[in-house]
Structure 1
Amino acid sequence: MTAIPPEDRAQDVLAPPAMAAIFLTLTVRPGGEDAVREALSGLAGLTRAIGFRVPEAQLSCVVGVGARLWDRMYDAPRPVRLHTFEPVVGAQHTAVSTPGDLLFHVRATRQDLCFELCYQVMRGLDGSVDAVDEVHGFRYWDERDLLGFVDGTESPTSRVAAAAAGFVGDEDPYYVGGSYVIVQKYLHDLAAWDKLSVEEQELAVGRRKLSDIELPDGVKPPNSHVAATTIVDPDGTERQILRHNMPFGNVAAGEFGTYFIGYAADPAVIEHMLQRMFIGEPPGNTDRILDFSTAVTGSLFFVPPADFLEDPDTVVAAASSRGLATANNDTMPSDGSLGIGSLRRSNGS
């Protein structure tokens, strides 16, 4: 199995930045597991059927499964780093944890195809799920967020770098080509943000607003967003994730936000970023952006390889025949990914 490049087993995580997207978070009702599993096995075919009518729209869908649903729905070891999202509580800011069994990340160049796919998904799951959150994202100018800055600049662009950052490899041989995804819905206080001068905004972000060029180290404050979200290993290697953030909003309701969605081979990278943002390193050196942006949701999911999603029993049987199930269980961590929690697998948390 590991001889196959991870990206060849993956869902469409590497799809290019979208013009439109829908992020749909669901919980599964007790007894709905079989219906959900069957629907997920046919999701790729459903996406192809809808996208075939307008191929230039590049419709794609990635689905993630939460820890509690995984244990209810699959007779297979839980991916080694899958757990429920732990809230990150700082002195001033909190990254909240909210319910989520399923995440559908639907992308296209047109919103109508995203809408149609989500509509058909919900029809197929009727009676088995409840909607927790639905966000319709859109491209804003030249890949900017509603704060006016380009978003996602540091997401790796080459296919090799993106695959290395985003896909599980030999460390979890059962699920090579899978990925972890953390999502957060941020609401912005644009009235307060717009009172800042452009120079003050640039110091908060760590980049020039017009050119998107990162500020020099001697100018960039340690509490800027760029500084807070840059993770460097002791050997000097910068850790990367795949970001597919999108703006969303409701003008009449005064709701303006950014939907953060980050894919990674190891969710601990994103969790470390959130520790730096919400608690600070050292404590108190929190991300300046959080004075204007509030996280109102937070969930962690595992994105199974495409072949597992379509036919989990065959993949499980093949892996078991090679003894991978035992290896997977032997490497299962008992603690949270940052080593600071007590995320117990036995109770689904």
Structure 2
Amino acid sequence: MVMDPNKAQDVWKDAGEHVQFTVLELKREDQAKDQEAIQEFVDRFQAITRSLRIRDNKGNLKVSLGFSNAAWDYLFPNAPKPKELEDYETLTGPKYEMPAVKGDLFIHVRANDEAVVYEFMAQLMNFIKDITTVVDETKGFRYFEGRAIIGFIDGTENPEPQDAADYAIIGDEDPQFVNGSYAFAQKWRHQMDIWNKLTTEDQEKAVGRKKFSDLELSEQEKFKNAHNVASQATIDGVEQKIVRMNVPYSDPASDNTGTYFIGYARHWNVTKKMLENMLEKNDYLLSFSDILGGQLFFIPSRPLLDQIAEGEFK
């Protein structure tokens, strides 16, 4: 079966202006009831998306819905499973760790207008709130010029838009789940006082790029644990890529500022390798950040969502 990006969810498009990430956990009080509720929820998810794209045809609404490995086993116990779907477990390096958190359902919404994001989630939660609890709900935003909250252009290492689908969407290596994707969601909280005390020159060495122009520094100019060095993943001599749609979040008055990292990938092992390298090389960004948690989710293709909604996938 040939990959068709038009049959994928929104896993390779732009990061958006107004963004919301929601992670839910199933209460698991009645499996049969939960399975029926998920069928309706998935159906409504698609219907609400279509409706809001008509209501605000310039809103640029993009959405994706995913299931963790634990949710997959619970909701679809007799169905096949994507080859690389697994429980994300805490990764530990010499100095830092990337903790895992619980999470069954992952919802990623972005649009040009915050009202569209709100309306989508407000309608959607009517069909899922009774069987779930909220693990995390984070509102993100596009910072100036698409920069990360630490002031640097984000996403420079992403593949070109015309090539992105090849890195984000599963192909014929897993034909039952073609046009799906692996999403890794991870929430970082930054100690901005520490970061802001660094000189611009040291910040550039820490990231590996110029702050204003985004030009990459030479290897000699960077810190050995610069972010764009530590986060690289090479497999069989080939540098690998994923599609990142990271966004800042902040509650300035309570000093709660960070980055919501979201990486969509054709292969989970590529993202995992990047995370392991960041830990092994003590990525400089970890020195002033706390990672609050992360989890892996599988993002089904739109045709597979239809099968789930129709009760054909159990």
Q: Distance in 2 between matches of 1:162 and 1:129?
A: 33
Of residues 174, 193, 196, the one that matches 1:194 is 196
Alignment of 1:181-330 (within 5 A): 181-235=183-237, 237-278=238-279, 280=280, 285-312=281-308
Q: Which stretches of structure 1, 4 residues or more, deviate above 4 A after TM superposition?
A: 313-317
Q: Does 1:83 align with 2:86?
A: yes
Alignment of 1:27-66 (within 5 A): 27-30=25-28, 31=30, 32-66=34-68
Q: TM-score, normalised by structure 2?
A: 0.94
Question: Which amino acid is 1:132 matched to?
Answer: V
Partner of 1:52, secondary structure, is helix
Partner of 1:297, secondary structure, is strand
Q: C-alpha displacement at 1:38, in angstroms? A: 1.9
Identity %: 35
Q: C-alpha displacement at 1:51, in angstroms? A: 2.5
Alpha carbons 2:188, 2:291 under 8 Å: kept = yes
Partner of 2:293, secondary structure, is coil
Give the structure 2 partner of residue 334 of structure 1: none
For residues 87-113 of structure 1, what are the alpha-carbon distances to aligned partners after superposition, in whole Å with 9 as ceiling and x for unaligned? 111232110000110000001011111
Q: Distance in 2 between matches of 1:80 and 1:120?
A: 33
Alignment of 1:60-139 (within 5 A): 60-74=62-76, 75-139=78-142
Root mean square deviation, CA, Å: 1.6
**Structure 2: any 5+ residue segments left out of the alignment?**
none
Question: Which amino acid is 2:39 matched to?
Answer: R
For residues 267-298 of structure 1, what are the alpha-carbon distances to aligned partners after superposition, in whole Å with 9 as ceiling and x for unaligned? 111111111111x1xxxx31011001111010
For residues 115-172 of structure 1, what are the alpha-carbon distances to aligned partners after superposition, in whole Å with 9 as ceiling and x for unaligned? 111111111113111111000000110011111111111111233x211111111111
Q: Does 1:177 align with 2:189?
A: no
Q: Distance in 2 between matches of 1:114 and 1:8?
A: 22
Greater shift, 92-101 or 7-16, is seen at 7-16
Q: Distance in 1 between matches of 2:70 and 2:93?
A: 26
Q: TM-score, normalised by structure 1?
A: 0.85
Give the structure 1 partner of residue 155 of structure 2: 152
For residues 289-332 of structure 1, what are the alpha-carbon distances to aligned partners after superposition, in whole Å with 9 as ceiling and x for unaligned? 10011110100000001111122387968xxxxxxxxxxxxxxx
Give the structure 2 partner of residue 14 of structure 1: 12
Question: Which amino acid is 1:120 matched to?
Answer: Q
**Structure 1: any 5+ residue segments left out of the alignment?**
318-349
Partner of 2:222, secondary structure, is coil
Greater shift, 30-39 or 133-142, is seen at 30-39
Partner of 2:204, secondary structure, is helix
Q: C-alpha displacement at 1:16, in angstroms? A: 2.0
Q: Distance in 2 between matches of 1:23 and 1:51?
A: 19
Greater shift, 97-106 or 6-15, is seen at 6-15
Q: Distance in 2 between matches of 1:264 and 1:214?
A: 24
Give the structure 2 partner of residue 322 of structure 1: none
Q: Distance in 2 between matches of 1:96 and 1:38?
A: 32
Q: C-alpha displacement at 1:58, in angstroms? A: 0.8
Partner of 1:213, secondary structure, is coil
Alpha carbons 1:6, 1:178 under 8 Å: kept = no
Q: Distance in 2 between matches of 1:126 and 1:139?
A: 28
Alpha carbons 1:228, 1:287 under 8 Å: kept = yes
Alpha carbons 1:57, 1:108 under 8 Å: kept = yes
Q: Distance in 2 between matches of 1:177 and 1:315?
A: 20
Partner of 1:153, secondary structure, is coil
